[in-house]
Amino acid sequence: MSPPLIFVLDDLTGTTANIQKHETLFRLGIIGRIATAVLMVYISFCLYLLFEKVDKDNAKLMLMLALISVPFIGFDVFKILSIGSEDPAYIYQCLNISRTAQTIAEVFWGLWLFPLGILVIKSNYFPKILGYALMASCMGYLFGVFIKVVFPSAHHLLIIADSLAFGELVFALWFVFKGLKIDQ
């Protein structure tokens, strides 16, 4: 999603002016989206290889749900890169389409965490609480999408979604700093 510094809700001229004023930040956001897609593919395949012996069906489901998000990220980037016009209405329309693609990707960013949570619990490679935290993160992403789609003006409720999604970060930090324990 375009940061609030760039995207001004219901303000075509303000959004266009912000893109021009913060063009480097806007372009760095595009690079960030591309990096997200590449990392999503790489990390999901690595996790599949790690967990396929634990539960092949849930590992396949996790991989499939993670990879489904990648085309939406690609479409998001494509739509942003297609902004070549100075016409504020066209720029705003492209950004709205981009935000929609991002929201759809968020559904799958959430859904893949549920089977990952199950795999973490079943594997005994990590503390089981991390698996439950991943499942809560799934719910957080889905709740966030629900709020954005059904109650877009209730953005204050997104703090609940972000709080639930915190488990994903905890899992990643645990993985990086503590590692996993595999009984040989």
Residues 158-182 have pLDDT tens digits of 888 888 889 999 999 998 898 877 7
Report the Cα 111 to chain-centroid distance in Å: 10
Higher pLDDT, 180 or 111: 111
CB 140 within 8 A of CB 165: yes
Q: Look over the chain and give the mean of its residue pLDDT values, rounded to a whole number.
A: 87
Q: Render pLDDT for 113-165 as a digit per residue (tens, 0 to 9).
A: 999 999 999 998 999 999 999 999 999 999 999 998 999 888 888 888 888 88
Cα–Cα distance, 153 to 55 (Å, whole number)? 41
**H or E, element range at 146:** helix 128-150
